[in-house]
């Protein structure tokens, strides 16, 4: 019988994401197996795909591909076939991270000891493999002050307080995306979850805010877990939660009423400790507010401490990246409201899974960096550990504010001066073309090149010049053609939308080119872990005088917060803040791909910017990010052995 595992599914996903053939060597690097395994897997998949009239084709010397001309309907059919089979068969843990979560769930769900031999049999792996996986399990448990007690001839047993066990179970449930339905059914097989949802919705209407769908569903599942654990005699211990801090909150009153209803409907006695447990979930709920933004009352609504925390975050963003969001009242209110609930989640180490985290990191990489900076401020102020899910939620607020600033700045570019060396008639024609393409723009005058210094900053927001201008000017200058082209139109559009970040694409491209150098190009790096690679590259930068002694620790600290691997065999490590002596990018090509967070990595671009270049960090970072999303480009870059070949290839698709 054909069995779908994660490796086969990953292989199908990779092939469907490529419009061009991709080599077995590239697929092997991404998935973390040998080329021979890829070839065997392709044969296995083709036996199954043949049933729907599709094949993975091979072009000798070029690679494997699924004919892209078959259309979206065939792609969806392939996805549906593999998803349906997975649902029918269940998901057998294959990858190390899947085994770790399976073991974690098994340890939590059993009342006493569980033998490692039993886990090995269930996972179809050796006992030594389970022993290695248990090291990762112990690291996860540490976050919740939970430990494993090991007893010879008995096995392993989980030790810790009940509330932390439940939060750990909830997080493992959220992370086991493929097993989520199966695990929920296992936990709540004899619990009426729909009834819990009805009771929960009825009582949260008494709260002075609306709860978003995700935390509502989280709360329902937490209550279902609680009821199941209570039935097994696993109660929240009195004293686990500091009651004095929450008993006077409206959320505690609502939780008490909710418990009364649950006791009545489920015919069980729910201890007082459980009331506090439900109350902190309500305190940690992500709120939707319908109020209009009134400056007089929103500070009171979000709380003075949360308001001050937002102010400090925005001040630090302005100081580090010179992006001033401090006057955005909508951001202050929205982020403050978010932090009001997030701080409670962080205090009790509650997990609110962010279903958009991957998309946020991929689509808004710089805003996620801002979220990391915000997390550092929160941690310094509260000594609470901020997880990636919360960073992602914060990044959404900041990305929205950045977009609002773009719109605002776009409206500010109203007055444009034309500088032309070809005569008045040509200048007037160019002015008419500009006004036609940009109806909202006002042409304040046409000038010869020699009088460019006479254009006052108060008179124009932008100068469009048909000749290159090298001298400094207080007004931004764009070089365009006398006969306006589509590229010129795009250039003006880009400047108008990105003026606030100093984002001129050509300028940044030149800047990017200047950051690379032959003496910072390294191949055949034979290191086994991200930290070893980072230490090796940062040490070289330190020796060459680009960075000081603190740079390495800052890069490692940033890596610890969230891995800088971005998929497609690429990682872009960098410090928490621009703090180097000289700006540069070190290029490292690994001998073999290494596991870096959730991805395999073979190409490392170590980014180092100093104080004077920090305004350009966002554009440079996003620019690099976009370039290395091209799978074919990265595959070819990883094979380059000298600097000139690498750079020529790097800019071949700019």
Among residues 638, 640, 650, the alpha carbon closest in space to that of 29 is found at 638
User: What architecture (CATH level 2) is domain 188-288?
Assistant: Orthogonal Bundle (1.10)
Is the pLDDT assigned to residue 411 strictly greater than 70?
A: no
Question: Any alpha helices (H) in 32-126, and if so which ranges?
Answer: 35-49, 72-89, 96-109, 116-123
Residue 89: the pLDDT is 42
Topology at the third CATH level for domain 96-161: Arc Repressor Mutant, subunit A (1.10.10)
Topology at the third CATH level for domain 295-406: PTS-regulatory domain, PRD (1.10.1790)
Look at 108-122, 335-349, 377-391, 397-411 and tell me which has the smallest mean pLDDT: 397-411
In 10 A of CB 598, how many CB atoms?
10
| Domains in the chain: boundaries | 6-89, 96-161, 188-288, 295-406, 413-500, 512-650
How many residues in total does the chain contain? 654
Residue 651 in tokens: 């800019």
Distances 102 to 53, 97, 130, 243, 362 between C-alpha atoms, Å: 36, 9, 11, 34, 27
Give phi and psi for 466, each to the nearest 5: -85, 0
pLDDT band at 631 (very low <50, low <70, confident <90, very high): confident
Residue 409: the pLDDT is 61
pLDDT band at 115 (very low <50, low <70, confident <90, very high): very high
Instruction: Domain 413-500: state its class.
Output: alpha beta
Look at 116-130, 168-182, 621-635 and tell me which has the smallest mean pLDDT: 168-182
Distance CA 603, CA 570 (A): 5
Provide the mean pLDDT of the chain.
81
Angle in degrees, 0-180, between the axes of helices 24-31 and 35-49, rounded to the nearest 10? 100
Report pLDDT digits (tens) over 255-308: 999 999 999 998 888 888 888 888 888 887 756 554 454 555 667 777 788 889
Residue 127 in tokens: 């006992």
Question: Any alpha helices (H) in 544-602, and if so which ranges?
Answer: 551-561
Contact 638, 594 (CB under 8 A): no
Mean pLDDT calculated for residue range 356-376: 88
One-character DSSP codes across 425-455: HHHHHHHHHHHHH-TT-EEEEEE-GGGGGGS
Residue 535: the pLDDT is 95
Topology at the third CATH level for domain 512-650: Mannitol-specific EII; Chain A (3.40.930)
User: What architecture (CATH level 2) is domain 6-89?
Assistant: Orthogonal Bundle (1.10)
Contact 587, 520 (CB under 8 A): yes
pTM of the model: 0.66
Report pLDDT digits (tens) over 210-234: 777 777 887 888 888 888 888 888 8
Same CATH topology for 96-161 and 188-288: the answer is no
Is the pLDDT assigned to residue 587 strictly greater than 50?
A: yes
Residue 261: the pLDDT is 93
Residue 114: the pLDDT is 93
Contact 262, 270 (CB under 8 A): yes
Is the pLDDT assigned to residue 526 strictly greater than 80?
A: yes
The more confident residue out of 631 and 592 is 592
The more confident residue out of 497 and 616 is 616
Say what percent of the chain tops pLDDT 70: 85
Mean pLDDT calculated for residue range 489-494: 78
Residue 588: the pLDDT is 95
């Amino acid at each position: 019988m054909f069995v779908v595992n994660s490796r086969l599914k990953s292989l199908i996903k990779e092939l469907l994401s490529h419009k061009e053939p991709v080599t077995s060597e590239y697929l092997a690097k991404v998935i973390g197996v040998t080329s021979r395994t890829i070839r065997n897997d392709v044969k296995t998949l083709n036996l199954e795909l043949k049933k729907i009239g599709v094949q993975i084709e091979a072009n000798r010397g070029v690679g494997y591909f699924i004919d892209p001309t078959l259309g979206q309907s065939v792609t969806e059919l392939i996805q549906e076939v593999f998803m349906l089979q997975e649902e029918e068969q269940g998901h057998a843990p294959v990858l190390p991270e899947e085994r770790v979560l399976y073991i974690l769930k098994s340890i939590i769900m059993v009342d006493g000891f569980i033998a490692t031999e039993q886990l090995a049999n269930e996972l179809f792996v050796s006992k030594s493999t389970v022993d290695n996986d248990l090291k990762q399990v112990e690291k996860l448990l540490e976050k919740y002050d939970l430990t494993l007690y090991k007893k010879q001839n008995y096995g392993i047993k989980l030790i810790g307080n009940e509330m932390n066990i439940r939060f750990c179970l909830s997080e493992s449930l959220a992370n086991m995306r493929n097993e989520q339905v199966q695990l929920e059914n296992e936990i709540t097989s004899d619990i009426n979850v729909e009834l819990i949802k009805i009771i929960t919705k009825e009582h949260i209407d008494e709260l002075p805010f609306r709860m978003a769908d995700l935390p509502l569903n989280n709360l329902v599942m937490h209550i279902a877990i609680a009821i199941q654990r209570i039935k097994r005699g696993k109660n929240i211990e009195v004293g686990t939660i500091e009651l004095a801090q929450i008993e006077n909150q409206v959320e505690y009153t609502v939780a008490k009423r909710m418990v009364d209803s649950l006791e009545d409907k489920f015919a069980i006695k729910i201890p007082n400790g459980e009331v506090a447990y439900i109350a902190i979930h309500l305190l940690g709920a992500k709120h939707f507010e319908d109020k209009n933004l009134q400056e007089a009352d929103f500070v009171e609504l979000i709380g003075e401490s949360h308001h001050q925390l937002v102010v400090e975050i925005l001040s630090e963003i302005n100081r580090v990246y010179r992006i001033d969001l401090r006057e955005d009242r909508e951001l202050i209110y929205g982020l403050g409201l978010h932090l009001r609930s997030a701080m409670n989640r962080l205090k009790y180490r509650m997990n609110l899974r962010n279903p958009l985290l991957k998309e946020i990191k991929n689509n808004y990489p710089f805003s996620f960096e801002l979220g990391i900076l915000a997390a550092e401020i929160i941690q310094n102020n509260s000594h609470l550990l901020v997880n990636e899910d919360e960073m992602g939620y914060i990044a959404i607020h900041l990305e929205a504010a950045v977009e609002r600033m773009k719109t605002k700045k776009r409206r500010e570019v109203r007055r444009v001066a034309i500088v032309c060396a070809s005569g008045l008639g040509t200048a007037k024609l160019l002015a008419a073309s500009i006004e036609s393409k940009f109806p909202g723009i006002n042409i304040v005058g046409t000038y010869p090149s020699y009088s460019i210094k006479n254009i006052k900053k108060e008179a124009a927001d932008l100068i469009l010049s048909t000749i290159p201008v090298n001298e400094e000017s207080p007004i931004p200058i764009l070089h365009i053609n006398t006969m306006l082209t589509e590229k010129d139109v795009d250039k003006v559009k880009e400047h108008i939308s990105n003026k606030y970040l100093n984002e001129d694409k050509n300028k940044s491209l030149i800047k990017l080119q200047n950051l690379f150098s032959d003496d910072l190009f390294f191949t055949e790096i034979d290191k086994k872990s991200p930290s070893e690679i980072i230490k090796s590259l940062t040490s070289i930068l330190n020796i060459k005088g680009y960075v000081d002694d603190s740079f390495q620790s800052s890069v490692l600290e940033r890596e610890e917060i969230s891995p800088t691997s971005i998929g497609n065999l690429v990682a872009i490590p960098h410090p928490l803040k621009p703090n180097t002596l000289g700006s540069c990018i070190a290029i490292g090509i690994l001998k073999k791909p290494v596991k870096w967070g959730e991805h395999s990595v073979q190409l490392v671009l170590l980014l180092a910017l100093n104080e004077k270049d920090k305004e350009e960090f966002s554009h440079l970072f996003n620019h690099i990010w976009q370039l290395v999303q091209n799978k074919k480009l990265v595959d070819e870059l990883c094979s380059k052995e000298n600097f000139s070949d690498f750079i020529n290839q790097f800019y071949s698709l700019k």
